[in-house]
Chain A
Amino acid sequence: MRITQRSLAVTSLQNLNRNMEAIAKLQAQQTSGKTINKPSDDPTGTNAAMQTRQEMASATQYARNISDGISILDATDSALHNITEQVQNARALTVQGLNDGSLSEASRVAIATEVDGIRQSLIGLANTAVKGQPIFGGVTSGPTAYDAAGTYTGFGGTTAVPAIEITRQVSSVDAVRVDITGPEAFGETTATSKDLFAIVGDIARDVVDDPDALAGHLAALDVALDRLKKAAADIGTRTNRIETAKQVNSDLQLTLETRSASIENVDLAKTMVDLSMMQTGYEAALGATAKVIQPTLLDFLR
């Protein structure tokens, strides 16, 4: 092939350009820290990157849901714990009122007052709220689960309106219920049964008015206490479940982080080596070009 000065120059320029382009690409990767700067850099990688980003956002959201759920479950657990303690106190007082036939009227009134106080504090505890939402109120949009008289004002959990579970999505496939409605934990006042607050109210009244009825109330209180324990156990089980989900979630986040990094992030060492190799190549090409383009026969004619 006949080679001319111009074709040499053009070819050299093209090769230099190609070198520069490769260097520019490597530099873009190095400075952005990403191997994929536009979809056409790596279509498959782009798909994986976008999917991973979305999964990471979901996982982060699940983590927030989980910690929110845990805070509600913890609040419920401690409220149930306190309520159980108070009910134990009320039970002790009831037993006292039941056994001691020689109690003075004043002592009975004192017991009645104390039990009534316990009832007030039970209602207060039953109205415990997390982020403004009463935890025993089901899905009520109101501020309380029970009014001052101890009537359930929540939404769901009664015979008329069954409980509507409040759940937290803890993974893409799993949701954990985080609430327990008042009627589920404290019983429901119907024609045949009474809830915890009504029972305690009855005790406060009958310890003075009708001590003979206390035995029946004590039995009802024990049933209520059993229900409370069952509710606490239920909450405990769910707390365990959500704690497990938390562990799974943090593992998942770590995995996704690693996957995202391996898809999108630049292997710094490799890019550095590639870049310096490219630079060496570029300099060699420059040197060769300078030498090749210069001489012609002119230089050797006298």
Chain B
Amino acid sequence: MSTFSGLNRATTALWAQQRGLDVTGQNIANINTVGYSRQRAELQSVNGNAVPAMYAVSNQVGQGVDADTVIRIRDAFLEGRAQSEAASSAQMTVRSESLAQVEQAFREPGTTGISAKITSVYTSWSELASSTQEDGARAAVLQNTATLVAELHTTSATLGEQWTQTRDSLDVLADDVNSKVQSIADLNASIKRANQAGLPVNELSDKRDVLVMDLAQAIGATSTPGDDGQVNLVVSGATLVSGDKATLIRAVGTNDPATVTATDPRFETSPGGTRVAVGGTAGGKITALTDTIPRYSKQLDAVARQVADEINAAHTLGFDKTGAPGGQVFDNGGSGVGTPITAANINLLITDTSKLAAASVAPVVGAGASADNGNATALGKLQDKAGGSASLYRKLIVTLGVEGSVATSNLETQTVIASQVDASRESVSGVNLDEEMTNMLQFQHAYSAAARMITAIDETLDKLINGTGRVGL
């Protein structure tokens, strides 16, 4: 034992406990910081000389304590789980929201939706059957039909607007993702340099991991550990961050809801142009753009077409007030020959009330035009027709309802799962004040004890130096 090794050992203890208190202070300071992982000073006892050098002596007692490294306490497996759960949650949230928006566009069940308008068109035909010669009843048919046409236009336009807004948000999303991808690459570079220099990187790593989690939500990115504390960021096989190198993405594809296909719009790498199969919020938006909204738009178009077809077919069988054969009621609003009728272009051709064909009997020479109600009755009965517009539309709404409610309950389940994973993560990485207080007391007491140790050695040396050999003095 060297004379002063006891003092040295006590000094390392003072340092170590001080370090411990520092880390405790840092933990308490960041108890509410998002993404902060609690830290711990790794205390290690310092061994005595296991292989004594020549002339050296070893008393087999360790040389104190070492507190050089401060580690982040986190579970890589849970972090990975959290990333994929956050991506699923974000995707399901967008899905549920986009379906909710589609539901709002249809406003069913109620008195203002298309269903009520279809019903009033057919009941007004039925009403006309009671008074075929009255212009009031004829005007009611025209008014109700015009209202239905306007409602189809409005609903179609609302869906189109929803599509356009979602499409626009892709560009914003890509910008946001790109800035975060760049930040992660920059942080990776800093972390690598700091690690090589042996400097602490815990806070930088926390900051980067928050960004990684953001990207997991935004595009379903997952991270894999790289060299020197760096992470690589991958989105379904496409690498966005590799060490300090970033690959950016951009949104491409049509801006026009009318020309959308299932492969369009999408995200691709920029530069490179490789398609990126995104998840998360972006994935949800892509699904809304290429599937949900176009599908309901098409179904609405089919309803509009059915309305036009069934009324046109029935109307042309009849005869109008003047005895002339009934004409077409709807066309495609000048969209060109061969263009099918859609909810957006459906157009009411008849403006003159006398042109409505309520009669089913051809005029007879001498007796003039027939005032019978056969055709009006037939048109009124169309609303109960199996496979008619009313039942087609009802099918659309029920499909939408089922899809919406499935999406909502899926989201609820996913939210529970995600919050459980979050709770597990928090239970590993979160700061517990009670624990920190206990640690603080421990370090405080240990510090006091180490200080006391120094005093004891001091007193011992004092006795040795000042008191030894002074017998009788």
Asked if B394 and A155 sit within 8 Å, CB to CB, the answer is no
Interface segment, one of A37-45, A73-81, A205-213, A232-240: A37-45
> Contact at A39–B361, with CB atoms within 8 Å?
no
Contact between chains at B370 and A164 (CB < 8 Å): yes
Least distance between A221 CB and chain B CB atoms (Å): 28
- Selected from B130, B364, B441, the residue in CB contact (under 8 A) with A68 is B130
Residues 10-52 of A contacting B (Cβ, < 8 Å): 10-11, 14, 36, 38-44, 46-47, 49-51
Say whether B57 faces chain A, with CB atoms less than 8 Å apart: no
Task: Report A115-157 residues with CB < 8 Å from chain B CB.
Answer: 131-133, 139-142, 153-156
Q: Closest CB-CB distance, A71 to chain B, in whole Å?
A: 10
Q: How many residues of B contact A (CB 8 A)?
A: 66
**How far apart are the CA atoms of A140 and B434 in the complex, in Å?**
96
* A191 touches B (CB below 8 Å): no
Give Cα A39–Cα B377 distance, bound, in whole angstroms. Answer: 32
Decide: A296 and B367 in contact? CB cutoff 8 A: no
Give the CA-CA distance A153 to B367 in the complex, in Å: 7
Nearest 9 A/B pairs, CB to CB: A40-B404, A39-B401, A43-B401, A4-B430, A139-B372, A7-B426, A297-B437, A40-B405, A155-B367
Residues of A within 8 A of B373 (CB): 166-167
Assembled-state Cα–Cα distance A38/B380 (Å): 28
Are A50 and B108 in touch, CB under 8 angstroms? yes
Point out the residues of chain B lying under 8 angstroms from A7, CB to CB.
Answer: 423, 426-427, 430
Cβ contacts B378-417/A at 8 Å (1 or 0 each): 0011011000001000100110111111011000000000
Confirm or deny: B103 has a beta carbon within 8 angstroms of a beta carbon on chain A.
yes
Residues of A within 8 A of B438 (CB): 297
Q: Is B334 part of the contact surface with A, judged by Cβ < 8 Å?
A: no
The B206-242 residues at the A interface (CB cut-off 8 A) are none
Residues of A within 8 A of B400 (CB): 39-40
CA distance A296 to B437 in the complex (A): 9
B residues near A, CB below 8 A?
Answer: 31-32, 99-100, 103-104, 106, 108-109, 115-116, 119-120, 123, 126-127, 129-131, 133-134, 321, 323, 359, 361, 364, 367-374, 377, 380-381, 383-384, 390, 394, 397-398, 400-405, 407-408, 419, 422-424, 426-428, 430-434, 437-438, 441
Give the residues in chain A near B404, CB-CB below 8 Å: 38-40, 43
- Is the CB–CB distance between B131 and A68 below 8 Å? yes
Question: Are A43 and B432 in contact, CB atoms less than 8 angstroms apart?
Answer: no
| Residues of chain A with a CB closer than 8 A to B364's CB | 155, 161
A297 to B439, CA, bound (A): 12
Q: Which residues of A contact B370 (CB under 8 A)?
A: 139-141, 155-156, 164
* Given A46-B108, A68-B131, A296-B434 contact (CB < 8 Å): yes
Complex CA distance for A69 and B424, rounded to whole angstroms: 74
Asked whether A65 is an interface residue with its Cβ less than 8 Å from the other chain, the reply is: yes
Q: Which of A7, A47, A50 has the most CB of B within 10 A?
A: A50
Q: List 11 A-B contacts (CB under 8 A).
A: A2-B427, A3-B427, A39-B108, A42-B401, A47-B397, A47-B401, A53-B109, A58-B119, A131-B131, A153-B367, A155-B371
Complex CA gap A199/B383 in Å reads 49
Please tell me the number of chain A residues within 8 Å of chain B, measured between CB atoms: 57
Label chain B's interface by main secondary structure: helix
B380 adjacent to A169 (CB under 8 Å): yes
Residues of B with C-beta under 8 A to A46: 108-109, 397-398, 401
Determine the chain A residues whose CB is within 8 A of the CB of B405 once the complex forms.
Answer: 40-43
Q: Which residues of A contact B (CB under 8 A)?
A: 1-7, 10-11, 14, 36, 38-44, 46-47, 49-51, 53-54, 57-58, 60-61, 64-65, 68-69, 131-133, 139-142, 153-156, 161, 164, 166-169, 172, 175, 264, 296-298, 301
B398 — which chain A residues lie within 8 A by C-beta? 39, 43-44, 46-47
Interface hub of B109, B126, B131, B434 (most chain A Cβ within 10 A): B109
A296 in contact with B433 given A46-B108, A54-B383 (CB within 8 Å): yes
| Complex alpha-carbon distance, A60 and B431, angstroms | 68
Known pairs A42-B405, A57-B123. 10 more at Cβ < 8 A? A2-B430, A5-B31, A40-B404, A43-B405, A50-B115, A58-B119, A65-B129, A132-B134, A141-B323, A169-B380
CB <8 Å contact, A6 and B431: yes
Q: Which residue of A lies closest to B424 (CB)?
A: A1
Task: Evaluate contact between A141 and B368: CB separation under 8 angstroms.
Answer: yes
- Which residues from chain B contact A60 at a C-beta distance below 8 Å? 123
Report the minimal beta-carbon distance from B214 to chain A, rounded to whole angstroms: 18
Taking a contact as CB atoms under 8 Å apart, the answer to whether B134 and A51 are in contact is no
A301 to B444, CA, bound (A): 13
B127 shortest CB reach to chain A, Å:
6
A39 engages B129 (CB within 8 Å): no
Say yes or no: A172-B384 contact (C-beta < 8 A), given A49-B109, A141-B133. yes
Check if A40 sits within 8 Å of B384, measured CB to CB: no
CB < 8 Å: which of B109, B126, B431, B433 contacts A65? B126
Whole-angstrom CA separation of A40 from B100 in the bound complex = 8
Please give, as numbers and ranges, the residues of chain A lying within 8 Å of B115 by CB-CB distance.
50, 53-54
Q: Given A7-B427, A54-B383, A155–B377 Cβ distance below 8 Å?
A: no
What residues of B have a CB within 8 angstroms of the CB of A68 in the complex? 130-131
Q: Write out the residue numbers on chain B whose beta carbons fall within 8 Å of the beta carbon of A296.
A: 433-434, 437
- The reply to whether B130 and A64 form a contact with Cβ atoms under 8 Å apart is yes
Min CB gap B293→A, angstroms = 16
Residues from chain B with a CB closer than 8 A to the CB of A5 are: 31, 430-433
Chain A residues positioned under 8 Å from B419 (CB to CB): 10-11, 14
Of the candidates B31, B371, B384, B428, the one whose C-beta lies within 8 Å of that of A141 is B371
Bound Cα distance A41, B397 (Å): 12
In the assembled complex, the Cα of A142 lies from the Cα of B323 at a distance in Å of 12
Q: Closest Cβ of chain B: how far from A70's Cβ, in Å?
A: 11
Of A38, A153, A168, A264, most B-chain CB atoms within 10 Å: A38
Kindly list chain B residues whose C-beta atoms are within 8 Å of the C-beta of A14: 419
Contact A57 B361 (CB under 8 A): no
Known pairs A36-B109, A46-B108, A169-B380; A2 contacts B397 (CB<8 A): no
Known pairs A40-B103, A43-B398, A132-B134; A167 contacts B377 (CB<8 A): yes
Contact across chains for B377 and A169 when beta carbons are under 8 A apart: yes
In the complex formed, the residue of B with least CB distance to A52 is: B109
What residues on A are CB-neighbors of B402 within 8 Å? 40, 43
